[in-house]
C-alpha cells in the first residue's frame, strides 16, 4: 500500500506491505537509521520518535496507521553543528555509552520536558520507564534531563 507522511518536515510517500511497522518505513524505506530496533515486544523504547508532536514507539504503528502522520526522528531535531539542547545535555553529562538506546531516549526526554512541569528526579525516572538503557544505569541520563529542566 502507499502511505504518505511527513518526516522531519519533508513530505514522503512509500509503497510498503500493510504489515510494515513505522520503524521499518523510517529505517528501510527512508534510510533514517538513527531510529533503532532493540526488541520485538515494544518494551525497550529504542525506536521512540515523535508522532504529531508526542513521543511514540515507532514499532507500535502499522503502515495504514502512518498515513498523514507528522513524524520527527533523531535526525530531525538537530545537527552536529547545531545540537538540540537535549542532545547537548546528553553529551555534556555523559548520558550515553554505546549510543544504541540514545536516540529513543533523547526523543522521549524531549517529550517529557516539553509536556511536564516541575520535573524532579523521581518524575524524570518515571517518565523514562518505557526506555531501557543497559550501559549508563540511567544516572547520567537523569542528570542530563534535569539540566535541561533547570535551564528552563
Partner 1 sequence: MSETDQTTQAQGIGAPVRRREDLRFITGQGQYTDDMNRADQLYAVFCRSPYARAEILSIDTAEAMAVEGAVGVFTGQQMVDDGVGDLPCGWLVKGKDGSDMKSSPHPPMAARYVNYVGEPYAVVVGTSLAAAKRAAESVVADFKELNAVVDVATAAHSEQIYDGIENNLAYEWALGDEDATRMAFAKAAHVTTIELVNNRLIPNAMEPRACLGCFDAASGEYTLYTTSQNPHLERLVLSAFVQIAPEHKLRVVAPDVGGGFGSKIFVYAEETAVIWAAGKLAQPIKWVAERGESFLADAHGRDHVTRAELAVDDTGRFTGLKVVTTANLGAYLSTFGSAVPTYLYGTLLAGQYKTPNIYVEVQGVYTNTCPVDAYRGAGRPEATYVLERIIEQAARELGKDPADLRRMNMIQPEDFPYATPVALTYDVGNYEASLDKALELIDYNSFESRQAAAAENNKRRGIGFACYIEACGLAPSKLATELGAGVGLYESGEIRINPTGSVSVFTGSHSHGQGHETTFAQVVASQLGIPYEDIEVIHGDTGRMDFGLGTYGSRSLAVGGSALVAAGNKIISKGKKIAAHMMQADEAQIDFKDGNFILQDSNQSVSIQEVAFAAYVPADYPEELEPGLSEKAFYDPKNFTFPAGTHIAEVEVDIDTGVTTLVKFVAVDDFGHIINPLVVDGQVHGGVAQGAGQAMMEHGIYDEYGQLQTGSLMDYCMPRADDLPDFDVDTTVTPCTHNPLGVKGCGEAGAIGSPAAIMNAVTHALGNKDISMPATPEKVWRAIRGE
Binding site for partner 1 (CB under 8 A): 17, 27, 32-41, 43-44, 46, 73-75, 78-80, 83, 87, 90-92, 94, 96-103, 106, 121-122, 124-129, 131-142
Give the burial class of 2: count Cβ atoms within 10 A of its Cβ; 0-12 exposed, 13-18 middle, 19 or more buried. exposed
Nearer Cβ to partner 1, position 116 or 134?
Answer: 134
Q: By C-alpha distance, which of 151, 150, 128, 152 is closest to 139? A: 128
Nearest distance from C-beta of residue 117 to partner 1, angstroms: 19
Nearer Cβ to partner 1, position 66 or 107?
Answer: 107
- The Cα–Cα gap between 60 and 40 comes to 10
Asked if 45 and 105 count as a contact pair (C-beta separation under 8 A), the reply is: yes
Nearest distance from C-beta of residue 42 to partner 1, angstroms: 9
Asked if 55 and 101 count as a contact pair (C-beta separation under 8 A), the reply is: no
Nearest distance from C-beta of residue 23 to partner 1, angstroms: 12
Nearest distance from C-beta of residue 59 to partner 1, angstroms: 11
Nearer Cβ to partner 1, position 6 or 125?
Answer: 125
**Angle of the 85-92 helix axis to the 139-151 helix axis, nearest 10:** 130
Nearer Cβ to partner 1, position 33 or 65?
Answer: 33
Amino acid at each position: 500500500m502507499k502511505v504518505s507522511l511527513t518526516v522531519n518536515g519533508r513530505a514522503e510517500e512509500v509503497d510498503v506491505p500493510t504489515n510494515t511497522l513505522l520503524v521499518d518505513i523510517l529505517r528501510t524505506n527512508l534510510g533514517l537509521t538513527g531510529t533503532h530496533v532493540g526488541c520485538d515486544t515494544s518494551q525497550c523504547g529504542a525506536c521512540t520518535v515523535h508522532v504529531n508532536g508526542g513521543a511514540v514507539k515507532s514499532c507500535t504503528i502499522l503502515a495504514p496507521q502512518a498515513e498523514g502522520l507528522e513524524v520527527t526522528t533523531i535526525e530531525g531535531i538537530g545537527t552536529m553543528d547545531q545540537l538540540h539542547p537535549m542532545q547537548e545535555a546528553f553529551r555534556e553529562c555523559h548520558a550515553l555509552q554505546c549510543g544504541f538506546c540514545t536516540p529513543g531516549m533523547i526523543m522521549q526526554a524531549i517529550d517529557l520536558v516539553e509536556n511536564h512541569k516541575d520535573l524532579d528526579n523521581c518524575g524524570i525516572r518515571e517518565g523514562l520507564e518505557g526506555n531501557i538503557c543497559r550501559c549508563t544505569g540511567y544516572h547520567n541520563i537523569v542528570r542530563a534531563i534535569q539540566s535541561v529542566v533547570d535551564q528552563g
